[in-house]
């Protein structure tokens, strides 16, 4: 089973409270989502492999570390995942960005795929799939299905708020995928919204309420 981690650093908890508050407007919401994404990127990158490299300081030759391993692709699930991309890129600026368009049908709650554009050679890359919300888990599972179908095998999923129901669905469908979230909330309501949650992340990010 992949790793499941709640990254509950005090700064992250403080910032989550800001975006949960219904009185937080679009501009501030967007800024704080990116700030949290930046802090999550720091934790998610903690186990990135390193390799030795010989360099010369002004004084001596020395063997030091540099990042090795697979090249990173950040993959936002549209729309709301876009809100996390800049924050992640702040820490991993050389990452490529692939896009998966997926929306949840309001009546059936089933995910509908409408767009995919990814870099080539996905089997060679470390994918960080980002979406603020893991609710029923349908969108994340469908997005990761689509990425695996295109050759991806090394995938981590990063979100801000997860429901226990969604975590279980994603773990059952993709046990190889590590899941990182800033919060594990209580449950889903009857419309598939996370409680206490933060409402509709895409609408709050883009001002389409
Ligand atoms: C939201 C959210 C996730 C999905 C989570 O997207 O950003 O992608 O719902 O729900 P699930 O786990 O039950 O699938 P939404 O469908 O509202 O689309 P949007 O990002 O375009 O607003
Ligand atoms: N999608 C959202 O944006 N919010 C939720 O609470 C559930 C799904």
- Give me the tens of pLDDT residue by residue for the chain, a chain 209 residues long: 889 999 999 999 999 999 999 999 999 999 999 999 999 999 999 989 999 999 999 999 999 999 997 799 999 999 999 999 999 999 999 999 999 998 878 888 888 999 999 999 999 999 999 999 999 999 999 999 999 999 999 999 999 999 999 999 999 999 999 999 999 999 999 999 999 999 999 999 999 98
Give the Cα separation of 172 and 137 in Å (integer): 10
Give the Cα separation of 139 and 166 in Å (integer): 10
Pocket of ligand 1, candidates 100, 163, 201, 206: which has the most ligand atoms within 8 Å of its Cβ, to mutate?
201
Q: What is the pTM of this model?
A: 0.96
Ligand 2 close to Cβ of residue 159 (< 6 A): no
For the chain, the domains span 4-206
User: Six-digit token pair at 57?
Assistant: 């300081």
Pocket of ligand 1, candidates 104, 112, 129, 200: which has the most ligand atoms within 8 Å of its Cβ, to mutate?
104
| Residue 103 CA, ligand 1 centroid: distance in Å | 6
Q: Is the ipTM of this complex over 0.90?
A: yes
Top CATH class of 4-206 equals alpha beta
Give the Cα separation of 41 and 15 in Å (integer): 15
């Amino acid at each position: 089973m992949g790793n499941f981690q709640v990254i509950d650093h005090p700064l992250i908890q403080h910032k989550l409270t800001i975006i949960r508050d219904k009185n937080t407007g679009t501009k501030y919401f967007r800024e704080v989502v990116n700030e949290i994404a930046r802090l999550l990127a720091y934790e998610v990158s903690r186990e990135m492999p390193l390799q030795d490299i010989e360099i010369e300081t002004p004084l001596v030759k020395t063997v030091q570390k540099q990042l090795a391993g697979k090249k990173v692709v950040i993959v936002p699930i549209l729309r709301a995942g876009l809100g996390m991309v800049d924050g992640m890129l702040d820490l991993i600026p050389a990452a490529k960005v692939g896009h998966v368009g997926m929306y949840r049908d309001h009546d059936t709650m089933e995910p509908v795929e409408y767009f995919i554009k990814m870099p080539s050679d996905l089997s060679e890359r470390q994918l960080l799939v980002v979406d603020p919300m893991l609710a029923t888990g349908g969108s994340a599972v469908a997005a990761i299905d689509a990425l695996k179908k295109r050759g991806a095998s090394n995938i981590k999923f990063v979100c801000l708020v997860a429901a226990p129901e969604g975590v279980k669905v994603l773990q059952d469908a993709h046990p190889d995928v590590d899941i990182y979230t800033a919060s594990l909330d209580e449950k889903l309501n009857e419309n598939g919204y996370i409680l206490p949650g933060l409402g509709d992340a895409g609408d709050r990010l883009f001002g389409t309420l």
